[in-house]
Structure 1
Amino acid sequence: MASTQVTPTRMELTRLKKKLVTARKGHKLLKDKRDELMRQFLELVRSNMDLRRGVEEGIKRANRNFVMAKASMDEATLNTALMSPKQEIQLEVEEKNVMSVNIPVFNTKTRTQDENDIYSYGFAFTSSDLDGAVKSLSQVLKDMLKLAEVEKACQLMASEIEKTRRRVNALEHVIIPQTQESIKYITMKLDENERSSQVRLMKVKDMMLEDAHKYSERA
């Protein structure tokens, strides 16, 4: 038990009382942090679900168009059309701090602003279904990057929530109860020592009075 590991002195009692105050403040702050992390985590989860549905639908649409294009074009023409991409995209990764969690933020920049630069081929010998597939993939790309960003944020926040939860439980079920028990133990010991001291003082007083009485009788 914690009570057997402390020295029952007033200095130790003062130190433990300060520790208890700090532990209670830390417990409250960590609980507030955990609750806020949970709130933001649930918002990210809902956003993640919406983005995933949109990305999956966009990929399905692109796949349907690509299958139709492949059926209407010969393989050599299709491969030639997609061999040399025309547009380039630069991905920049930054971070933002949310409740002491560094969450990645993805920013994209295209080489040109022309929307038609996504097509790396001429339209004379290709199917319109291929145009639809390329356009669908181009449109879903930003959502895919956003989905990756949100999923990573969910992972990081879930990890931080678990760490915070463990700290809250450690304070609530271990540190605070042990400190309270130690304070109780020291208080009882000090009270016991004080009572013992009073008893000794009373005995000394009685002995002194008795000696004084005997001395007066001899005189």
Structure 2
Amino acid sequence: MASTQVNPTRMELTRQKNKLKTAVRGHKLLKDKRDELMRQFLDLVRENMELRLKVEAGIRSANTNFVIAKAGMSEPTLKTALMTPKQEVYLEVDKKNVMSVDIPVLEYKTRTADANDIYSYGFAFTSSDLDGAVKSLADVLPDMLKLAESEKACQLMSAEIEKTRRRVNALEHVIIPEAQENIKYISMKLGENERSSQIRLMKVKDMMLEETHHYKEKAHERAMENS
């Protein structure tokens, strides 16, 4: 059913046709965007799963080493060894645009490039298990940052997919059918008006012909009477 607010005029018909054309083109573009977002989202989900397993394995290994180190060292010695960190990490946050979605990019830099600076203690009074725990955490840091990127990217892309899906549905089920109904309604009304005008013109023509015929008959009668 066409909207009751639509005026059945040729100008409105042209406007509705342009609206339909724009809506159809926008629907196609949004569908393409949604499909590409879905493809990239699924790739991110697979990457996310792999990173999560890798990070969990690294953290589990570090925790195991910490537990063993704690069992073989006194608590004061362990606390003293880890009290003052030697290395510093600087986190830089940037972003990249993927299908109109701003995805964060995390990069980190260390104060020094020396790999041994992750150990804030001497090796004389600590166990090798503590070294393994610290090394495991240092090794898992890049993957943890990638996992954070992937998690946030999945959240943002999921929200964008949902927003795009709602727009596609609105165009497909509301705007495009409404424009088509309006075009059909206006075309029907214009056709009815055109037929009504033709009928009126034909009636006027018949009336004029009839009046002309009567006029000729009367003129002929007057001519016969005068003769």
Query: Does the alignment reach a TM-score above 0.5?
Result: yes
Query: Secondary structure of 1:2's match?
Result: coil
The 5-angstrom pairing of residues 8-87 of structure 1 reads 8-87=8-87
Query: Secondary structure of 2:3's match?
Result: helix
d(CA) in 1 for partners of 2:5, 2:11: 15
Q: Which residue of 1 is the match for residue 157 of structure 2?
A: 157
d(CA) in 1 for partners of 2:137, 2:107: 18
Q: Deviations over 1:125-165 (max 9, x none)?
A: 00000000000000001111110110000000000000000
Q: Deviations over 1:27-49 (max 9, x none)?
A: 00000000000000000000000
| Structure of greater Rg | 2
Q: Which residue of 2 is the match for residue 139 of structure 1?
A: 139
d(CA) in 1 for partners of 2:21, 2:62: 60
Q: Which residue of 1 is the match for residue 95 of structure 2?
A: 95
d(CA) in 2 for partners of 1:153, 1:92: 17
d(CA) in 1 for partners of 2:45, 2:3: 45
d(CA) in 2 for partners of 1:199, 1:32: 50
Q: Deviations over 1:73-115 (max 9, x none)?
A: 0000000000000000100000100000000000101000000
Instruction: Give the unaligned 5+ runs of structure 2.
Output: 220-227
Q: Please give the TM-score of this superposition, normalised by the length of structure 1.
A: 0.99
The 5-angstrom pairing of residues 116-131 of structure 1 reads 116-131=116-131
d(CA) in 2 for partners of 1:125, 1:88: 23
d(CA) in 2 for partners of 1:165, 1:113: 47
| Structure 1 stretches of at least 4 aligned residues deviating more than 4 Å after TM superposition | none
Q: Which residue of 1 is the match for residue 223 of structure 2?
A: none
AA aligned to 1:181 is: E
Shift, 1:218, TM fit:
1.4
Instruction: Give the unaligned 5+ runs of structure 1.
Output: none
d(CA) in 1 for partners of 2:106, 2:120: 25
Q: Please give the TM-score of this superposition, normalised by the length of structure 2.
A: 0.96
d(CA) in 1 for partners of 2:169, 2:188: 28
Q: Which residue of 2 is the match for residue 172 of structure 1?
A: 172
d(CA) in 2 for partners of 1:15, 1:53: 56
Q: CA RMSD in A?
A: 0.6
d(CA) in 2 for partners of 1:64, 1:99: 42
Shift, 1:5, TM fit:
2.0
Query: Secondary structure of 1:3's match?
Result: coil
Query: Secondary structure of 2:121's match?
Result: coil
Query: Secondary structure of 1:96's match?
Result: strand
AA aligned to 2:34 is: R
AA aligned to 1:59 is: I
* Residues paired across the two proteins, number: 219
